[in-house]
Chain A
Amino acid sequence: MNIEELQKKVLTVARACPPSDEVPYAFEKRIMARIARETMVDLWTLWGRLLWRAAAPCVAIMLMLTAWAAVSLDFNGNSEPIATDLEESVLAPLASLEDAW
């Protein structure tokens, strides 16, 4: 059998049989419904992306504050004033509670 000839015949047949361009009923509605769902998901994706973007500046600020705190402690020589201030601030509501008791 001549394969070259056969190949030509198969391709001729393929050209002679174009596929149908029939569309299922209301297919565009299905697409639009899917797009509406995708858009909803996209809002969450957007929110997630924003959170991730915010994470980097937050970490940077935290590192800067840590560094600033460490440097200022070195200059002051001890950490007591900051520790005392923090303790007083945290315990302030409890102190007023104790007075009420």
Chain B
Amino acid sequence: MEPSDAELIAAVLQGDTASFEPLVKRYQSRIFATARRYARREDQVEDIVQEVFIKAFQKLATFRAEAPFEHWLMRLAVRTCYDFLRGHQRNRETTFTDATSGKTDWLEQFIVDPTISQENAAAARELVNKVLSQLSPAARLVITLLQIEERSVKEIAALTGWSISLVKVRAFRARAEMRKCLERMARSKYL
């Protein structure tokens, strides 16, 4: 039988560093999926995941076991991703000229049946990435957590460390920012 999270954490805190490896193995796929929502390049994704686990190891003594370890780790992951976005906000894409232009019919087709065409799926993903990369770090984080991952405001507040009212305000601003971004894209004939 595999040891529980609590047992592994207790062993790590007693000095058995090797007990941290099963924890990494258990949660790394979830952290990778989270990191890939915010970083596109695989080397950046790996750096984020590595940073999350290093922070988790260093701060393990502060884990109070009031909530599951996974929640605590996800909080670390979201905050690390937010720091990553803030650190890379100068690299945000500002032009659409490098992308292929077209109509939104394929977007409609993709929504109706995502398996209908590989090209449509790739184009849809490209468009989503383009739009999200245009947003400010806070807006991108809120849109991702609230609209894409469909988490509740309370959950987002717990993950980000923001107050519930701040999450609501940022969500409102993020939606407006996203609309503006789409308008700009439409004007520049990207859509």
Contact = CB atoms under 8 A, between A and B. Distances in A.
B121 A35 contact: no
Given A11-B148, A21-B29, A28-B21, A3 B179 contact: yes
A57 interface: no
B94 interface: no
A12 B148 CA distance: 8
Provide the main secondary structure of the chain B interface: helix
Nearest to A17: B125
A7 B182 contact: yes
A34 B51 CA distance: 10
Interface in B9-25: 17-18, 20-21, 24-25
B126 to A, nearest CB: 10
Given A1-B191, A19-B33, A20-B36, A6 B104 contact: yes
B160 to A, nearest CB: 19
Nearest to A9: B107
Interface in B133-191: 143, 147-148, 150, 175, 178-179, 182-183, 186, 191
A16 interface: yes
Contacts of A19: 33, 36-37
| Range for the number of chain A residues in contact with chain B | 20 to 34
Interface in B30-73: 30, 32-33, 36-37, 46, 49-50, 53-54, 57-58
Contact of A9 (B32, B108, B114): B108
A16 B128 CA distance: 11
B80 to A, nearest CB: 14
Interface in A1-37: 1, 3-4, 6-7, 9-24, 27-28, 30-32, 34-36
Interface string B80-124: 000000000000000000000000100110110010000001001
